[in-house]
Structure 1
């Protein structure tokens, strides 16, 4: 008995549309180039940031 494997679907981080997560999708995990570029733009304008563990009042040059 042969089982068919359903392609994995994920929600696009940009618009939440379900998309197939496979090597056939050049924009994965995004649904389109537009969503991919919108996400890149958010990182470039620092809308998204990785938190820094250093308290903001400490300056490394004062150490």
Structure 2
């Protein structure tokens, strides 16, 4: 589950980077526009992966205290 979350977060990072640098939304381009069902699913999964990945930050803080 951790690797899947990391992959989705990386996909999200590439997508945001392409929007910032080239004004191209890769997810929307690949899945039929930003309002298509597939794009919204990918956006949702990336968002959930980002929320899930907060645990990595919290685990690092716990290890620093030990």
Q: Same fold per TM (> 0.5)?
A: no
Q: Where is the helix percentage greater, Structure 1 or Structure 2?
A: 2
Q: Which has the higher contact order (CA 8 A, sep 6+)?
A: 2
